[in-house]
Structure 1
């Protein structure tokens, strides 16, 4: 690949993540090399692309204009390599996927089928409960929960993921089984929430504020707290079905209606989805554990 193309890829990453050190770490290059590549792009196009201070890079209007052309050119090159390269009939290469924890653990257990079908694939799973920035974190695909109001993303509906109220048998033995959703505020409810925002559960069409002695912004921590007997938790069905079958958890208010979570796969709208990511998207759709659209 020519020096200019490498320099343009570096320029695009600096626009997406304006930090020399972070881009240098990503590209396995020195800080000096990244700065030299940026100088090369500025010299080639005769424009100042960033204002540089001791702490940050600030893109200029010229950088914003060049970014559109650079992305289009690099995407076209990637597409041509996929179409005419030796793996055009067997997609391969690195695919970075942003997963939520519960769904990520579910899919990871099934990735063997995908890699057996496409042995040239490499999969990098970024698994968190908070939403990663698809562009900044260089994700080819990411999962989103609920409505996606971002015009910079292409959205693919995966389906609706059922949820269940569950608790450990020992907790229910000591505190009693709720007879209706009206009883929940009087119970220890394990809140999946961030900061000081009250946790709200919508059950049977009515929203209720719930709380207890334990809360977390990690669904896996909520799951383990429920198994430890700390209270009642609201979790995706795929995460607790095995625990219910083994007797570690018991369904609470199984006749109540709890709205499922709408799950979407997204990718940046400014670049075409390459074949290697397309087969992963198809795999996510085919193996979705809830109700498909």
Structure 2
């Protein structure tokens, strides 16, 4: 068996973990939501919007956003604490959060692998793209190194070849360092 595990932070457990990729948690919303409510200009403005949050571990009441400085190098590294005024949906189920975002319920915070196709097709749009929440790590996990069937080893070899374990996000088309995009169902 191979389990694909997504975690913010490290892993602990009695298994063998192979790091595959990093996925950035991005903010996105349906175009109709943004037409009705406007695009937030900064994290303070984000706090006043309806938010949909995929709980990846314990999601704190307030969260930090860091400016990546892609447009304004003077603000690079600035961190702002956001205290949401209206979280309309919070769930461990990323598909539920994604469905809410697609339905125009609010601005979602989701891993890039969950929304890559929606961003490419224009069903969702990035919000505050210069600001970063956090990344999650994607691992292929095996129960043991012993007696790994050939088919499992072949799948693991394929995954390790497709995802070299780097820090770039292979699901974000904006990442110039990403060599290609591989879709995984969320």
Which TM-score applies when normalising by structure 2? Answer: 0.69
Structure-2 change in CA distance of 1:271 and 1:207 (3 Å): farther
Matches within 5 A, 1:137-156: 140-146=1-7, 147-150=10-13, 152-156=14-18
> Does the aligned pair in 2 maintain the 1:192–1:199 contact within 8 Å?
no
> Does the aligned pair in 2 maintain the 1:178–1:184 contact within 8 Å?
yes
Q: Which residue, out of 100, 114, 127, partners 1:239? A: 114
Q: Name the CA distance, whole Å, in 2 between partners of 1:262 and 1:207.
A: 23
Structure 1, unaligned runs of 5 or more: 1-139
Matches within 5 A, 1:88-237: 140-146=1-7, 147-150=10-13, 152-193=14-55, 201-204=63-66, 205-206=79-80, 208-210=82-84, 211-237=86-112
Q: Aligned to 1:222, what secondary structure does the other structure show?
A: helix
Q: How far apart are 1:219 and its partner, in Å? A: 0.7
Structure 2, unaligned runs of 5 or more: 67-78, 169-186
> Whose helix proportion is higher, 1 or 2?
1
Q: How far apart are 1:227 and its partner, in Å? A: 0.7
Q: Which residue, out of 254, 265, 281, partners 2:140? A: 265
Q: Which has the higher contact order (CA 8 A, sep 6+)?
A: 2
> Does the aligned pair in 2 maintain the 1:201–1:209 contact within 8 Å?
yes
Structure-2 change in CA distance of 1:290 and 1:206 (3 Å): farther
> Does the aligned pair in 1 maintain the 2:53–2:110 contact within 8 Å?
no
Q: How far apart are 1:253 and its partner, in Å? A: 0.3
Which TM-score applies when normalising by structure 1? Answer: 0.46
Q: Name the CA distance, whole Å, in 2 between partners of 1:290 and 1:268.
A: 19
What count of residue pairs does the alignment treat as equivalent?
152
Q: How far apart are 1:281 and its partner, in Å? A: 0.8
